[in-house]
Structure 1
Amino acid sequence: MTDDDIIIAHADALRKAIAENDVNVDREVRRLSRRGFIVAGAAAVAAYGGWKFLRLASREGDVPWPLRRGLETNEKLSETYFRTARLSRTFPASAITNARINGGVGLQPNYDPANWRLRVEGIAGQPPATLTLSDVKSFPRRDMTTELRCIEGWSIVVHWTGTRLADLMAKFSPPSGTRYVAMESPGRGYYVGLDMLSCLHPQTLLAYELNGAPLTWQHGAPLRLAMPVKYGYKQIKRIETIRYTDVRPADFWGDRGYDWYAGH
């Protein structure tokens, strides 16, 4: 056999191997394509079934009950691991950022700060108490620089000045065993429900200053809640009413499908 015959024979063998490989590849591609189509179809059917199930499921707090159960599980975990001795991280003054304005629900444009009063209801053995801003400021002044986290995913570092809610509650005490605190802005334009332990946390303030200046209208003047253990939607602006209760209070965003506890 000449060298040319050997080359031709090798070329024929190579072409045959390539042809067989092409057949195998084509067969595998068709198999995988059919399998992928079946899997994709099954996934689409399952997704549609899940969507339809959620859409038709009865609703609790403006969300389908399966999602509500998920939120309740998250709430129980957050409550289980919460400790009043666990403090949120504090920051140096150099870390302070501009105070972002976010959300104006409950902030009436015709607000007159001179007429503002804070009403505390449900006090043990006493009628409701009415306080001026000067009354609130008569409690020990507290300062902290902490992170305010929004459920939307952003955060800022701000400096708060105010009165510990626990100090006010020590003077205007709830009945023994009270589990919750409700807070409302004027006319109940905005309202939050809070667990008692979070209210007693040493970093929970009734704040009247932000970054060294009195609160502005947009930031909830004259008094708002600063609560670094909760997401921002719990930190109600322009508090007008504080109420102690044994019934879990309604919550503006909790009523609209958000986590009632809102801890992080």
Structure 2
Amino acid sequence: MAENNPFPTEKEVTEQKIKRRTFLAFTVFTVAGLGSIGIWKAFRTLPKSKNGLAAPSRQVLAFNEKVNTILFSDQHLAPTYPIEAAARKPRVNGRVGLSKNFDSVNWQLQVNEPGKSQSLSIPLDDIKRLPKTELIFDFKCIEGWNQIVHYGGVKFSDFLQAYQLGTQSGKPLLAAQPKDWYPYVGLETPDRGYYVGLDMPSVLHPQTLLCYEMNREDLSLKHGAPLRLIIPTKYGVKSLKRIGTLFFSLTQPRDYWHERGYIYDSSL
């Protein structure tokens, strides 16, 4: 009959350690998993904002937006690239607001100002007579992809200056104080299916364009013809295709993706 060894071998000690560590790891993993499920369920029960996003998440996004607003500067420019770097066949992404029954021949940009009963209708040829600006930059999508693109059009600020728009007094922008500016600008597609809101400093940024060309050719319908917004300091969700109506506001205009949980500012 073999004697019991009061001193375990090194192999037995190692096996015991492995069993203890395995049990401990399994226990910790189980507790952490159950805790995560509990936290997730508790998070799901928190009060919701208007767009269905949990209130704490919306509060964090609102705080981030305030920080972006404080740090915003028209001296901060998106990097630009040589024309050779631009994609020859730019990616098409997003078709919301691009209805198939669109009348491109008779299109005119509709501009609405508070207190005025009639819209200002501006044909594309008139917009093309304004000083042209070309921009080659890295278009960044909130989905995670990016592509260098080449657009041409008129600076939004030049457009507002030419038509004496954007101020509550009716003075030209360059002659007015910032407190006289309308704080917000809204843009909508002709079918009102897609819409964005912008603060006036972002509108007046020197790289914010109303574009009618891509790669020095007229925009195609799938890329937002006859006129679209390009704003390189923000994610592509703000660069609305096929502008139908432009309007000024004292409060934040509605914004398609903000209503679906994204940050209103969408700055890079």
Contact in 2 for aligned 1:122/1:174 (Cα 8 Å) = no
User: What pairs up with 1:110-125 in 2 under 5 angstroms?
Assistant: 110-122=101-113
Q: 2:64 aligns with which of 63, 74, 97?
A: 74
**Displacement over 3 Å in runs of 4+:** 123-128
Counterpart of 2:25?
A: 36
1:55 equivalenced with 2:59 (yes/no) = no
What secondary structure, in the 3-state scheme, does the structure 2 residue paired with 1:189 have? coil
Residues of 2 paired with 1:115 and 1:125: CA distance? Answer: 23
Do the aligned partners of residues 173 and 127 (structure 1) sit closer, same or farther apart at CA in structure 2, a change above 3 Å counting? farther
Bigger helix fraction = 1
Structure 1 residue 25: Cα displacement: 1.5
3-state DSSP class of the match of 2:223? coil
Contact 1:204 1:226 in 2 (8 A): yes
In the TM superposition, what are the counterparts of 1:1-264 in structure 2 within 5 Å? 20-60=9-49, 61-97=51-87, 98-122=89-113, 128-170=119-161, 171-175=164-168, 176-264=180-268
Verify the 8 A CA contact 2:114 2:249 in the aligned structure 1: no
Aligned length: 248
- Amino acid in structure 1 at the alignment position of 2:90: A
Which residue is equivalent to 2:176?
none
Assess if the C-alpha contact under 8 Å between 2:212 and 2:218 holds in 1: yes
- Contact 1:117/1:131 (<8 A) preserved: yes
Contact 1:123 1:174 in 2 (8 A): no
Q: Could you say what the CA RMSD is over the residues aligned between the two structures, in angstroms?
A: 1.9
How far apart are 1:127 and its partner, in Å?
A: 5.4
The alpha-carbon distance between structure 1 residues 237 and 37, as it changes in their structure 2 partners (threshold 3 A), is: same
Q: Note the C-alpha offset of 1:152.
A: 0.9
| d(CA) in 2 for partners of 1:21, 1:128 | 89
CA distance in 2, matches of 1:186, 1:128: 14
Aligned pair in 2 of structure 1 residues 138, 124: CA closer, same or farther (>3 Å)? Answer: farther
Q: Which moved more, 1:164-173 or 1:207-216?
A: 164-173
Deviation at 1:52, TM superposition (A): 0.7
Q: CA deviation at 1:137?
A: 1.3
Residue-by-residue CA offset, 1:23-64 (whole Å, 9 max, x unaligned) = 221222222123212211221122112211222222222311
Tell me if structure 2 keeps the 8 A contact 1:133–1:222. Answer: yes
SS of the residue corresponding to residue 115 of structure 1 reads: coil
Q: State the shift of 1:125 in Å.
A: 7.8
Checking the alignment, whether the CA contact within 8 Å between 1:120 and 1:129 is kept in structure 2 is yes
Name structure 1 gaps, 5 residues minimum: 1-15
1:89 corresponds to which letter in structure 2? Answer: P
TM (normalized to structure 1)?
A: 0.88
Give the drift of 1:226. Answer: 0.8
Structure 2 alignment gaps of length 5 or more? 169-179
CA contact (8 A) 1:148 1:157 kept: yes
Q: Distance in 1 between matches of 2:116 and 2:221?
A: 35
